Amino acid sequence: MSFQGGAITRSAYGVWERGKRWGVLPDIWIRILALAALPNGRLLSGSTDSTLRLWNVETGTEIRRFEGHVGSINAIAVLSNGQAVSGSSDNSLRLWDISEGTELTRSSNQMSGITALTVLPDGRLLTGHEDGKL
């Protein structure tokens, strides 16, 4: 990470396992706000540039980029069927088919930006919002 005029200008992200560096994402000019681990050494990241990205952690290469949000992606959850949900400051949730790289559906009627989300044991989503509500 480097600082320029008091602001972070670029970042390198390391992936650690039991105290040892396992992989690394390349230096990128975006700020990552959310991460979700997937099987087979893959990782999803959500960023300030409104993209969800799928990475191969061992090689540090971007496999796929998901676009559609118009605000920062603050939260990601992976479902048991391998799909992913992203929550954004644009007040929307989006459901993605990770293997195909497509948006399956969206919910844009959230009252404020989404800052957190998780999948409950029964499969329902719980979201946290910028206004402090669940």
Segments making up each domain of the chain, as ranges? 12-129
Q: The tokens of 17 are what?
A: 């396992």
pLDDT of residue 8: 32
pLDDT category of residue 14 using cuts at 50, 70 and 90:
low
Residue range 28-52, pLDDT digits in tens: 567 889 999 888 889 999 999 999 9
Mean pLDDT of the chain: 82
Residue range 50-109, pLDDT digits in tens: 999 999 887 888 899 999 999 999 999 999 998 999 999 999 999 999 999 999 999 987
Cβ atoms 75, 34 nearer than 8 A: yes
- The DSSP letter of residue 106 is E
CATH topology of domain 12-129: Methylamine Dehydrogenase; Chain H (2.130.10)
pLDDT of residue 58: 79
Cβ atoms 134, 125 nearer than 8 A: no
pLDDT at 5 over 60: no
Cβ atoms 74, 91 nearer than 8 A: no
What torsion, rounded to 10 degrees, do the Cα atoms 90, 95, 97, 100 define?
-40
pLDDT of residue 104: 97
pTM (global) more than 0.85 = no
Dihedral-angle region of residue 60 (phi above 0 means left; psi in -120 to 50 means alpha; beta otherwise): left
Alpha carbon distance 94, 83 (integer Å):
10
pLDDT of residue 26: 58
Q: The tokens of 41 are what?
A: 């050494």
Q: Is 120 helix (H, G, I), strand (E, B) or coil?
A: coil
